[in-house]
Structure 1
């Protein structure tokens, strides 16, 4: 008995009544195919048992068609919105996104950057939290990597950072301009050995108070461990119930600021009448809490565009000089801060 003939892409095209190029577009997830045609091609693929040889494709093109995004947590709203934005930006090019959760630990971030894992991707966007400068400096790979985050990284990496200090300063200046004089920074940290999100935003808070002639009070720096809504809610409620005088709160993320609004309500305080609150991230949910959350917009779409541009640049030129981009920030005013009198 002769060997069974392997189904070819041309067989799928013939059975579906479309061109081979259309079949290729469907199988590669490219968007320029109508829904009915796409469904018909996929039905024929299933009927004929056609299988894509990913190994052969990579050998032929040198690409996997996949980008990896490694983030600390899936359950933090910022990272879910980031993943959605990256996926939407990749879709028109027929590229796919795989998202990994590192748990913000050194071990899992190193595992995600292992040679075997990296070979699955054309490029990787890494939000590094657990890895330090020395760890990153030891990693050697031909797979393009763009680092997302606030810590110091080796110059050879392309990186995207938020305007953390500038954004926190802008938020604190806004609170002071609206009459706040005892502004707490919830989730902030001072005197940390390495720059990170919490310390950078606390620095912006301190700079704004200094400029306004208001001495930063260490008692108003309230560190957090998990940066969760529940932790923020409990922390601010406990401090206020314990006698801490505050008339403004800068949450170092929107989720923390939302927790702060709930905690202030638990402590019998009204937002914005008694205490004004500003967040950082301008998450979509911030427009739908009550009152709406005034927040720092770090330029999400621009950061995603820059990150993917830097990946493409490395794919086209492996020797491309590294770029270090810092995003622009803007304040979006909503109901959690008072209107000017």
Structure 2
């Protein structure tokens, strides 16, 4: 046998195992019509030589880069940072590299991602949009595989992964009602406008009130321009200054809920004595606040796994089956902000 190079090749494995390079390729690609004896001999040769599949070379031969793009609104919002971590881990497990982009929730940058601003580098895009319009999906370049996270601007047009936001908010509101809370404010909610996450979660809140036979008070729904710590703090302060303040806050992300906790503390309100506070997203900081934060926890790992799997399916077979809408799980994690 010839001496093996520093980085063994398929032909080195073939020579070591006494088979053809084509047979080695069939074993690597897990083709069925290979005898168990041959498969074992090839695997022993691979192990002995330390051979590793050249994924990059294979992808380039197939006209692909081996990279996918993840486009999210803000990386300093912990939910998106944590989700990105899971997407990158899942992509790495499946032999792909992730290009990470921050859109700032600006429609032009979301459109650029939707139309493949990295098309020459990326095989497909996972996009979490906040500003896209329904017509944007209808006019997108269908040659670029896209999976949307969160809420879609319109039905159809692309694969989608998200949680059932109506149900999640309904369950969170019902939980607060079960604790005797009756004036529940929705921080970051929306009564009207396009059907985004804020509207869907507000709809779930209204459904819980209806089921409990309680009237809906639009003054308890506070739309927010942004969902940051300071926005939650400002909202809580404004609510506490009202003649009839709420007895619970349902904040539509954990950043606002944590900001609200700080403002309530400074205002002299106890949580959960005077008020209950519930957030959304189960970011890591929610476990370490004082009090720790009760929150609606989407299954971020499932979202990442499903999004990567759907995207890779479309990359491999663009016309394989109908578009899919994957609903990931969620649960309410009860902590001190409602439990004491």
Measured against the shorter chain, the TM-score band is 0.7 to 0.9
User: How far is the alpha carbon of 1:155 from its aligned partner?
Assistant: 1.3
* Counterparts of 2:234 and 2:119, CA distance in 1: 40
Residue of structure 1 equivalent to 2:92: 91
Q: Does structure 1 retain, via aligned residues, the 8 Å contact 2:280–2:295?
A: yes
* Counterparts of 2:237 and 2:293, CA distance in 1: 18
Residue of structure 2 equivalent to 1:231: 231
Q: What are structure 2's unaligned runs of at least 5 residues? A: 11-53
User: How far is the alpha carbon of 1:77 from its aligned partner?
Assistant: 0.7
Task: Classify 1:296/1:91 alpha carbon distance in 2 versus 1 (closer, same or farther; 3 Å).
Answer: same
User: How far is the alpha carbon of 1:18 from its aligned partner?
Assistant: 4.3
Q: Does structure 2 retain, via aligned residues, the 8 Å contact 1:74–1:101?
A: yes
When the two chains are superposed, the root-mean-square deviation of aligned CA atoms in Å is 2.0
Q: Does structure 1 retain, via aligned residues, the 8 Å contact 2:239–2:246?
A: no
User: How far is the alpha carbon of 1:326 from its aligned partner?
Assistant: 2.0
Residue of structure 2 equivalent to 1:283: 283
Q: Does structure 2 retain, via aligned residues, the 8 Å contact 1:186–1:222?
A: yes
* Counterparts of 1:248 and 1:239, CA distance in 2: 10
- Partner of 1:291, secondary structure, is coil
User: How far is the alpha carbon of 1:264 from its aligned partner?
Assistant: 1.4
- TM-score, length basis structure 1: 0.81
* Counterparts of 1:277 and 1:258, CA distance in 2: 9
Residue of structure 1 equivalent to 2:139: 138
* Counterparts of 1:158 and 1:243, CA distance in 2: 47
**1:195 to 2:184 alignment:** no
* Counterparts of 1:267 and 1:209, CA distance in 2: 28
Residue of structure 1 equivalent to 2:8: 19
Query: After TM superposition, where is structure 1 displaced by more than 4 Å over at least 4 residues in a row?
Result: 56-59
- Partner of 1:337, secondary structure, is helix
- CA displacement 1:266-298 (0-9 Å, x = unmatched): 221111111001111111221111111111112
* Counterparts of 2:294 and 2:117, CA distance in 1: 44
Q: Does structure 2 retain, via aligned residues, the 8 Å contact 1:241–1:267?
A: no
User: How far is the alpha carbon of 1:59 from its aligned partner?
Assistant: 4.5
- TM-score, length basis structure 2: 0.81
* Counterparts of 2:58 and 2:306, CA distance in 1: 28
* Correspondence 1:73-84 to 2 at 5 A: 73-84=74-85
* Counterparts of 1:183 and 1:331, CA distance in 2: 17
* Correspondence 1:55-70 to 2 at 5 A: 59-70=60-71
Number of residues paired by the alignment? 292
* Counterparts of 1:235 and 1:155, CA distance in 2: 35
